[in-house]
Amino acid sequence: MVEKYQFLGVEAIIASLRMRELFQQVRKAAQSSSSILLLGESGTGKEIIARAIHHDSVRKMKPFVDLSCAALPKELVESELSGHERGAFSGANATRHGLFELAHEGSLFLDDIGALDPKLQAKLLRVLDTGMFFRLGAVKQTRADIRIIAASDRPLIQSVRNGIFRQDLYERIGQITLTIPPLRERAEDIEALANHFLAQQNPELRFASDAIMALYSYHWPGNVRELRNTVFRSSLAAKGPLLHADDILFRLRTLQSPENQAEARGVEGLEQTMIRRALEDSGGHRQRTAESLGISRTSLSRKIRSYGLSVKTELHRRPA
């Protein structure tokens, strides 16, 4: 049985027993007022679940605001979250509301929480404890009643043990922890998700049974995100209405071994591989891709053009 949930412009497909059980926990957690920590490998659906939580909560009519703590340098994360007063630094010509304020009475989704700088960890803890914070350059505090939904690809407890993440903040945001299983541990979801993504991309296409077998036998290290990208990529190359196993374009067939490719094609080959991977990892988001590669957005775009990397950004569109 395949269930579909629609909320906030997102459609979640749930077929496996494990995900059905998880969604029961999600709904229960959503009703409570406490912070929630979502753990799971990249691409398992943490963001989609964060949206589901907001949508099922009493805060649903208020904003859902999200920020990846890993996508920006720490100074920018701070000003994104806190906003600033006019004149707080050169170039601050007007007061700017940060995400703490924008998420007031709503939910703030902090992705990659483990990357949060220690100073900001302290600031976040204060917001949670007191409901108050300072905009950059402010002498007066501003109120922010927010629910934190945090996510991490890696077990946050390890960062606590390594002294990188504050224990008290961990206890605070991890009051409820939900772990999303990798796709390979819930194979029943594979077919339902694949059919869903294929229908989204091109309703004329179908998977032949050998294609479904091929999808089942793959281990999906990039989880649902990789499945989605694989289905979209394969559907674009489809030679007819029925997709066979041969038509499934798994990423690893071309990208598994960047070293070998680099040997074959030199430094440029490696660069291409890195760009394609980074694009996949960021879901096609060029700004984030450029940041993760440490190059400017302009230079990323130039490289994409010059290598003729056909990046179908519309395929990676983030849910609204």
Residues found near Mg ion in the complex (CB under 5 A)? 47
Q: Which residue lies nearer to ligand ADP by CB, 44 or 82?
A: 44
Q: How far is the CB of 197 from ligand ADP (least distance, A)?
A: 8
CA 151, CA 76: separation in Å to the nearest integer?
19
Residue whose Cβ sits closest to ligand ADP = 45
Token pair, residue 256, equals 């598994």
Residue 178 touches which of Mg ion, ligand ADP, none (CB < 5 to 8 A by kind)? Answer: none
Residue 114 touches which of Mg ion, ligand ADP, none (CB < 5 to 8 A by kind)? Answer: none
> 109 near 119, Cβ under 8 Å?
no
Residue 292 touches which of Mg ion, ligand ADP, none (CB < 5 to 8 A by kind)? Answer: none
CA 212, CA 214: separation in Å to the nearest integer?
5
Q: Which residue lies nearer to ligand ADP by CB, 40 or 114?
A: 40
Q: Which residue lies nearer to ligand ADP by CB, 46 or 104?
A: 46
Q: Which residue lies nearer to ligand ADP by CB, 54 or 225?
A: 225
CA 219, CA 223: separation in Å to the nearest integer?
8
Q: How far is the CB of 21 from ligand ADP (least distance, A)?
A: 14
Q: Which residue lies nearer to ligand ADP by CB, 40 or 83?
A: 40
Residue 44 touches which of ligand ADP, Mg ion, none (CB < 5 to 8 A by kind)? Answer: ligand ADP
Q: How far is the CB of 54 from ligand ADP (least distance, A)?
A: 13
CA distances from 131 to 81, 87, 101, 126 (A): 14, 25, 11, 7
Q: How far is the CB of 45 from Mg ion (least distance, A)?
A: 9
Q: What angle do CA 287, 288, 292 make, to 5 degrees?
A: 120
Q: State the greatest distance between any 2 C-alpha atoms of the chain, in Å, as a whole number.
A: 65
Q: Which residue lies nearer to ligand ADP by CB, 87 or 319?
A: 319
Residue 319 touches which of ligand ADP, Mg ion, none (CB < 5 to 8 A by kind)? Answer: ligand ADP
* Among candidate residues 113, 178, 116, 104, the one with its CA nearest the CA of residue 147: 104
Q: How far is the CB of 82 from ligand ADP (least distance, A)?
A: 24
Token pair, residue 235, equals 């559907």
Q: Which residue lies nearer to Mg ion by CB, 84 or 225?
A: 225
Residue 278 touches which of ligand ADP, Mg ion, none (CB < 5 to 8 A by kind)? Answer: none
Q: Which residue lies nearer to Mg ion by CB, 144 or 151?
A: 151
CA 266, CA 262: separation in Å to the nearest integer?
5
Q: Which residues pair with 133 in a beta bridge?
A: 142
Mapped onto helix, strand or coil, the DSSP state of residue 256 is: coil
How many other β-carbons are positioned within 10 Å of the β-carbon of residue 289?
24
CA 5, CA 214: separation in Å to the nearest integer?
27
CA 4, CA 15: separation in Å to the nearest integer?
9
133 burial level (CB within 10 Å; 0-12, 13-18, 19+): buried
Q: How far is the CB of 151 from ligand ADP (least distance, A)?
A: 6
Residue 144 touches which of Mg ion, ligand ADP, none (CB < 5 to 8 A by kind)? Answer: none
Q: At 208, which helix (H) or strand (E)? A: none
Token pair, residue 251, equals 């990423």
Residue 45 touches which of ligand ADP, Mg ion, none (CB < 5 to 8 A by kind)? Answer: ligand ADP
Q: How far is the CB of 50 from Mg ion (least distance, A)?
A: 9
Residues of the shown chain interacting with ligand ADP in the complex, contacts defined by CB under 6 A: 11-14, 40, 42-48, 193, 224-225, 228, 319
